A and B are shown apart, each in its own frame.
Chain A
Amino acid sequence: MRPYLAVLSARFRMLLQYRAAALAGCATQLFWGLIRVMIFEGFYLSSAAPQPMSFPQVVTYIWLGQGMLLLTMFGPDAEVRAMIQAGTIAYELVRPVRLYWLWYCRAIAARFAPLLLRAVPILIVAGVFFGMRAPASRGCAALWILSTAAAVLLTSSVATLMTISLFWTISGEGMNRIAPAIIWTFSGLLIPLPLLPNWVQPAIRVLPFRGMGDTPFRVYMGHIPPEQALLAVAHQLAWTAALVLLGQWILNRGLRRLVVQGG
């Protein structure tokens, strides 16, 4: 464990340095959050039909989404991309560690550091000024933290998969563009998932994406009742395990065909 924890903490400490970026990010996300709240307010005011979520629940859901947006700011690890393009990837491979876990730890650090730097201030501001509510109960709060941790593990497994795709794509630019569109739609970061049409709900329940946003948000507000929350966390962890295994399998294939040019 020692090498992996060391890489995780080094990377985490490094990312905590980006305070200016965090501040700017908070401002942007607060701004967008307000716009999204206004859009949904208009929607709720214009519709008399009963909705699967109340308006205050939607507001809380939106602010949680704004706070945790960076979890799903996907894309291959920029440092690994630079290493593959420059050929320093050779150094990653002469280390006596499993490359998959090394990259997975980097992905966790890359999600966890900005999560702390941005989620905390955004949630405080939104709670004090913009109508975000407290967790439904202490139990919900504890389950929310658990589910958020599972979301970090899950999103990291997807991010690692994208990093591994660099062995084939080199630039990863395409991944950078496609992935967020799909993930934001199906994780609830654009529209709260309960508001999507009924016919997509079965697919949403099976797919991994709800575990990256929707699950922790609804656990927080008790929209997923505490007795079902553990099942939802199990769904997150099962997908994490599957994606980790898939990632390791693909990585091993990538290493077999690896060409380290030049030098």
Chain B
Amino acid sequence: MPQILVESLVKTFHLAERVPGTWGALAGLARRRHRTVTALNGISFTLREGELLGYIGPNGAGKSTTVKILSGILVPDSGRVEVLGKVPWTHRIETVAQIGVVFGQRTQLWWDLPVIESFDLLADIYRVPAALYRRNRDELVGLLDLAPLLDTPVRQLSLGQRMRCDLAATLLHSPKILYLDEPTIGLDAVGKLAVRDFIRRLNRERGVTVILTTHDMDDIEVLCERVIVIHEGGLFLDGTLKQLRGRVSSERRLIVDLARENGPINDPDAELVSRQGRRATLRFDPARVSPAGLIARIVANHEVADLFVENPPIEEIVARIYGSACAPLSRSARQ
């Protein structure tokens, strides 16, 4: 039985809007115009226990809306949702007792309280038994290196420190499911690595199911086996990272370091993408051109110091999905 079930989920928002300018403001007094925005337009997916799902899409695609529906905050227009066998918005309290949520841009800690007091208060709010609370807290303090921060008021923490505390705060009640909404937003490199490493351990060692929404493709690349891409409220793709790459484009990159500065490089089957001193980046389609043959030919015809093949960066792929290139690309991917 899946732990999370989402079927044909639809959510629209009605937003009041007005014509710009003074006249618009006056007209708005008499009659309000409303615009309907479809945030989710028939999304379906299921998630098994212990999965780590990357949930990606451009701003406004409906990622956060999905997370808010799954955590019982928002009520959808139609569709079926079950989290741990319950409908989250009708059984909000039972559902949220078993999940943890981090909204990366916002803190759940009490601004004026020392971190440890926020933890104590959360343990009370979630009715965590004292012994379990002590065990979870001590373990999380160790894993996330929070010991030096515990007595600091939250407002004095740096963003990275705050995020580590927020992650710990979300896990004090041993949730079975964790929704992470942009947990690495605004963090520096060290902070990101710490957060990623922690998420991975949590998933592997404790078997916590994780839904991770992010714009940071490194998060996805490092953490997620499975990704769901949503675009304009619809499901664009549900599969592995490899399938995501294949869906958009199967191209590979061949990076060649030539022995001499500005040496010429050309091959009929590969296209030059960029050139930087001795380094040339070529692209080719492995479905059409054999990589081994291409490499052999290039090595034979040029003076090569080093070369390697890589996948195009995931950012580029996602940018193509998000961008105007989306329609023709997805059509060609379907062929």
Residues of A within 8 A of B (CB): 2-3, 5-7, 10, 14, 86-88, 90-91, 93-98, 256, 258-260, 262-263
Contact = CB atoms under 8 A, between A and B. Distances in A.
Contact of B125 (A3, A86, A93): A3
Contact of A10 (B64, B92, B107, B117): B117
Nearest to B179: A94
12 contacts: A6-B120, A10-B110, A10-B113, A10-B117, A87-B103, A90-B101, A90-B103, A96-B94, A96-B97, A97-B93, A258-B73, A258-B74
Contact of B93 (A5, A87, A98): A98
Contacts of B64: 262-263
Given A14-B112, A263-B103, A93 B126 contact: no
B121 A259 contact: no
Given A6-B125, A260-B73, A88 B97 contact: no
Given A259-B13, A263-B106, A90 B68 contact: yes
B106 A7 contact: no
Interface of B: 13, 64, 68, 71-75, 92-94, 96-97, 99, 101, 103, 105-108, 110, 112-113, 117, 120-121, 124-127, 181-182
Contact of A94 (B75, B101, B105): B101
A91 B72 contact: no
A95 B124 CA distance: 11
Given A3-B124, A6-B124, A98-B93, A93 B73 contact: yes
Nearest to A83: B106
B125 A94 contact: no
A5 B124 CA distance: 9
Contact of B181 (A98, A256, A258, A263): A263
Contact of B73 (A5, A86, A90): A90
Contacts of B127: 2-3, 96
Contacts of A5: 124
Most chain A beta carbons < 10 A, residue from B64, B112, B120, B182: B64
A90 B92 CA distance: 13
Nearest to B101: A94
Given A96-B96, A260-B68, 9 more contacts: A3-B126, A7-B124, A93-B72, A94-B73, A96-B126, A97-B125, A258-B74, A263-B64, A263-B181
Contact of A260 (B74, B93, B126): B74
A161 B86 CA distance: 30
A259 B72 CA distance: 12
Contacts of B120: 6
Contacts of B103: 87-88, 90-91, 263
B73 A88 contact: no
Contacts of B13: 259
Contacts of B101: 90-91, 94
A86 B72 contact: no
A91 B94 contact: no
A256 to B, nearest CB: 6
A-B CB proximity, top 9 nearest: A6-B124, A96-B97, A91-B108, A3-B125, A93-B73, A88-B106, A96-B93, A94-B101, A263-B64
A2 B124 contact: yes
Most chain B beta carbons < 10 A, residue from A6, A14, A90, A94: A94
B108 A88 contact: yes
Nearest to A97: B125
Given A3-B127, A10-B121, A90-B73, A95 B105 contact: no
B232 to A, nearest CB: 18
B112 A90 contact: no
B139 to A, nearest CB: 22
Contacts of A96: 93-94, 96-97, 125-127
Nearest to B73: A93
Contacts of A3: 124-127
Contacts of A7: 121, 124-125
A99 to B, nearest CB: 9
Contacts of A97: 93, 125
Given A90-B68, A95-B96, A97-B93, A256 B75 contact: yes
A67 to B, nearest CB: 27
Most chain B beta carbons < 10 A, residue from A3, A87, A98, A258: A3
B13 to A, nearest CB: 6
Contacts of A86: 106
Contacts of B121: 6-7, 10
Contacts of B71: 93-94
B124 to A, nearest CB: 3
A9 to B, nearest CB: 9
